[in-house]
Amino acid sequence: MGYCGNNYTFCPGSYVLKVGKITFKSGEEATSYYNKLKKTQDITWSPYKNKHTLDSKVKWDKKAIQSTKLVQRSISLGSKRMLERITWDQGKIVKDSNGSTWKILEFDDIVGAYLGKETKYVVVKESGGKYIHPISEEEAKAY
């Protein structure tokens, strides 16, 4: 994903963008795909008390990353919905011990931080709606 200002987001430009299993030639192409998903996915999303969202006024820097030692966070509410939909569309299906459905996906670029380290991995969980949060590479590969 491109880096625009303080938040990761799909940026317009003439570059190749790889998201999950799909390669886009521009930010516009990626946004078009996302908008198509919004129309076709009948999904109830849960903000999960915005627990995994970094406030848009906070810069993504070492301090923000270190703050995740106790609380997991994703980067921005704007890109969060896009990450959720793409992960739900393309992610690896995982069932937890309670039978709940999860989907895990590795992105090509950093999408968040988990326990004080940046990560390319996210999980979308289904529990009273769907919600996303970053996970470590080790945790993702354990499934």
Which residue, 136, 134, 113, is CA-closest to 61?
Answer: 113
Cβ atoms of 134 and 115 within 8 Å: the answer is: no
Q: Is the pLDDT of residue 137 over 60?
A: yes
Average pLDDT of span 82-101 = 84
pTM: predicted TM-score of the whole model, two decimal places: 0.59
What does pLDDT average to over the chain?
A: 67
- Predicted confidence (pLDDT) per residue in 13-64, tens digit: 333 445 556 666 666 776 777 677 766 655 555 455 555 555 556 666 676 6
> How many helices and strands (H and E) does the chain possess?
4, 11
What is the residue extent of each domain of the chain?
A: 3-141
**Residues across the chain:** 143
Q: Residues 121, 125, 130, CA angle at the centre, nearest 5°? A: 115
pLDDT of residue 92: 92
Give the Cα separation of 135 and 57 in Å (integer): 23
